[in-house]
Amino acid sequence: MFKNILITLLVLFSLSLQAFTAQAAVILQYHHVSASTPAITSVTPVQFKEQMQYLADNDFIVMPLSQVVDAIRNQQPIAENAIVITFDDGYKSIANTAHPILKEYGYPYTLFVSVEPIKAKYSEMMSWEELIQLSKEGAEIANHSWGHEHLIRKLAGESESQWLTRIEANILKTEAEIKQATGQNHKMLAYPYGEYNQAIETMLSRHGFVGLGQQSGAAGAYSPITALPRFPVAGVYADLSSLKVKMHSLNMPVVSMTPRDPELKEGHWRPELKVTLDMSDIYPHQLMCFIQGQGAKKPLWLSETEFSVRAELDLPPGRSRYNCTAPSKSQTGYYWFSQAWVRPKNDGTWIEE
């Protein structure tokens, strides 16, 4: 009898663990909320209102990013249907257009800002006074680097240690400026352009920072705390019919992967990604990967839990991604995983942006 009770308890524990690890928050990333800014980084006010109404109509729980980060760090449960709303750069359209809509629904959100554009008083950017007012009304103000730099790029003649010292000073100086202006000190960095590497991740960990990218997926127990995924919402990705699939996405149970570093080394332009998954809620034959710019790619299964995927052609200079998805056996929604890549041109120089 005792043995049967023990087995029952172990089964219940296993089920509760699976339930926990399946919990995640979908983090949405916006830039402009405007009908007159570039579509590639914008949603219109009509689209934004429609998206917020969808969240309300479908019982989503919109959470502050800091709360989700704390839950992931401390391995605590995250509410079902959790959504986080974030904005990069601090454009005026967020204060003028997005904020009133969010206030109407009572939704919290996070603004990632760079300091240099604020100090330069660029006309399209919010001022410190505007940011402070939003922070008083509940907005979280967080780090987007000092001048929205390509953090992984070295200056001419700069050594590895000199580069990392410069980036470290950049991030810490930005955090100190935000704290002085708003009183907020969340230690959450959204990587400009979604570009980062393992050296930056290690540095952030040393200072207790979280890092957020622009690779797709739900953020949860299996997500690296220095590379949390977000779903960019703009242009063709702003249509609600496709966005709502992402809103219901699940945290892919990635146990391990190689390589972890998004920055590709010279000549390694077709990286082979090896991923080990917890397969308890996934059918292997239903997992499919996609190479950005190259289309669908079936994974090669190396064992019952590990697969590999590799581009057929060289990834182009700049940013690319491998995306993999699989439907859940037990619940609505797709597990979603994305690995970001970034590389220079063949001569070692970077594309201009």
pLDDT tens digits for 14-41? 434 444 444 799 999 999 999 999 999 9
pLDDT tens digits for 302-312? 999 999 999 99
**How far apart, in whole angstroms, are the C-alpha atoms of residue 152 and residue 263?**
8
Token pair in block for residue 345: 């041109």
Helix (DSSP H) and strand (DSSP E) numbers for the chain: 10, 20
**How far apart, in whole angstroms, are the C-alpha atoms of residue 104 and residue 191?**
29
Q: What is the pLDDT of residue 16?
A: 40
Write the CATH number of the domain with boundaries 256-343: 2.60.40.10
The pLDDT of residue 339 is above 60 = yes
Contact (Cβ atoms closer than 8 angstroms) between residue 334 and residue 245: yes
Residues 6+ apart with CB under 8 A from 169: none
pLDDT tens digits for 230-280? 999 999 999 999 999 999 999 999 999 999 999 999 999 999 999 999 999
Cα angle 131, 137, 143; round to 5: 40
28 to 41, 307, 350: CA distances (angstroms):
13, 28, 28
Q: What is the pLDDT of residue 101?
A: 98
- DSSP reduced 3-state for 133: helix
**To the nearest whole number, what is the mean pLDDT of the chain?**
93
Residue 172: pLDDT band with limits 50, 70, 90:
very high
Q: What is the pLDDT of residue 23?
A: 78
Q: What is the pLDDT of residue 353?
A: 86
Provide φ and ψ at 92, rounded to 5°: -60, -30
Domain ranges within the chain, ordered by starting residue = 22-250, 256-343
Q: What is the mean pLDDT of residues 100-112?
A: 98
Nearest alpha-carbon partner for 253 in 198, 190, 334: 334
Token pair in block for residue 9: 């308890």
Class assignment of domain 22-250?
A: alpha beta
